[in-house]
Structure 1
């Protein structure tokens, strides 16, 4: 083997070892960073979830830990859906879960609370990409529109009225942004239909009868503000 060929092989070996070493070090650094920041990220996510749950079902409506008291069911798309159970004593009095609507600019994620009778206790939008100044009125911080769902059920209004007024329904739409509120209305209705079909799975077959409601859905919504 010529001297130049040997030098080439040495250089190639050196580059390979160097690249491998750098890759291992980078992987170790990422793993260390994840280990160090993982708990903090998880804690922040838990706080965000707790805050959204409290907005649709205030603390005086239950006496258990909503984050810890959960059950998994099949969602509308067949994927696992986490349901948070609210209890008074041992009785499940309400449930909270997430739904997703098809907005103008993509998915609209929301969290909704439903009491044992199938009545909405509150709805909050937790994520969306709708047009600022138009579609973003679904956020409670920008407009009170979403508060109108409190106290609604599949009986009030009737299913045919679960639509925006432009479509012959009961709910207001926004000027220049009908698709966005239409998507939220459809998602909330789908959430109520999910509760109607999976009530036993959400509440638990052995859940005792719920005590008398401490407050109406409207009062619950006011307390959450």
Structure 2
């Protein structure tokens, strides 16, 4: 059984309470979209960031400037909603103890998020002191579930994927780890149920990160 030498955490819903209303975000984005393209194509299955990119690409086919304008307006809306949500957010009680404890024990850590860095630092100003690498969507060309996001973080902390664990509260996080070749762990502190998380077959499951740390220690992974 391989020891885990490092852990990459998701942020919202994993280390901090999830306060962003993604349904409301998509509703507002669609309102902007209809001003540019009506009717909008059926792409409700796409997350907000990918939806914006898709519609912008559709618009840019005929008018590149229109595509850029749409993309800019949507990104401003997303960032403003993220920052506003962060003002009302807070860390889970176990976040500081876990990150500090892992540092002291020599386990490498990183945090990757599809959120903007300003929003994360509103909740956790010293994020870069508490982990070896922090990468928001602003720091990569391709956000998770693209493996670039986690692979770049692993490169910063000098860790091979097979010795790392990706921890998150969403299917996207588990997909990210699997695509990059890490072990994966799902925690039910976001909006996904245990049953939904089980469907993607993570290597570990726990109600929260605190319970997960206990499972990893008891199984001899540290």
TM-score range, shorter chain: under 0.3
Structure richer in helix, relative to its length? 2
Structure richer in strand, relative to its length? 1
Per chain length, whose mean CA-contact separation is higher, i.e. which structure has more relative contact order (CA < 8 Å, sep 6+)? 2
Question: Larger radius of gyration, structure 1 or 2?
Answer: 1
